[in-house]
A and B are shown apart, each in its own frame.
Chain A
Amino acid sequence: DGGITQSPKYLFRKEGQNVTLSCEQNLNHDAMYWYRQDPGQGLRLIYYSQIVNDFQKGDIAEGYSVSREKKESFPLTVTSAQKNPTAFYLCASKPGQGNNQPQHFGDGTRLSIL
Chain B
Amino acid sequence: GESVGLHLPTLSVQEGDNSIINCAYSNSASDYFIWYKQESGKGPQFIIDIRSNMDKRQGQRVTVLLNKTVKHLSLQIAATQPGDSAVYFCAEKADSWGKLQFGAGTQVVVTP
B28-50 CB contact bits vs A (8 Å, 1 = yes)? 00011010100001111110010
Known contacts A42-B104, A90-B44, A108-B43; can you find 17 more A-B pairs with CB under 8 A? A31-B97, A41-B104, A42-B103, A42-B105, A43-B44, A44-B102, A48-B97, A50-B97, A98-B96, A98-B97, A100-B31, A100-B32, A102-B49, A105-B45, A107-B42, A108-B41, A108-B42
Q: Which residues of B contact A104 (CB under 8 A)?
A: 46
Q: Which residues of B contact A110 (CB under 8 A)?
A: 41
Within 8 A of A (CB), among B23-69: 31-32, 34, 36, 41-46, 49, 51
Q: Which residues of A contact B (CB under 8 A)?
A: 4, 6, 31, 40-45, 48, 50, 58, 90, 92, 94, 97-108, 110
Min C-beta distance of A88 to chain B, whole Å: 8
Does B72 have its Cβ within 8 Å of any Cβ on chain A? no
Q: Which residues of B contact A103 (CB under 8 A)?
A: 34, 46, 98, 100
B-side interface residues, number (CB < 8 Å): 23
Q: Closest A residue to B48 by CB, please name it.
A: A102
Q: Which residues of B contact A (CB under 8 A)?
A: 31-32, 34, 36, 41-46, 49, 51, 89, 93, 96-100, 102-105
Min C-beta distance of B90 to chain A, whole Å: 9
Min C-beta distance of A57 to chain B, whole Å: 11
Q: Which residues of B contact A108 (CB under 8 A)?
A: 41-43
Q: Do A45 and B99 have beta carbons less than 8 Å apart?
A: yes
Q: Which residues of A contact B45 (CB under 8 A)?
A: 105
* 28 A–B pairs (Cβ distance < 8 Å), ordered by A: A6-B43, A40-B104, A41-B105, A42-B89, A42-B103, A42-B105, A43-B44, A45-B99, A48-B97, A48-B99, A90-B44, A92-B43, A94-B98, A97-B97, A98-B97, A98-B98, A99-B98, A100-B32, A100-B51, A100-B93, A103-B98, A103-B100, A105-B36, A105-B44, A106-B43, A107-B42, A108-B41, A108-B43
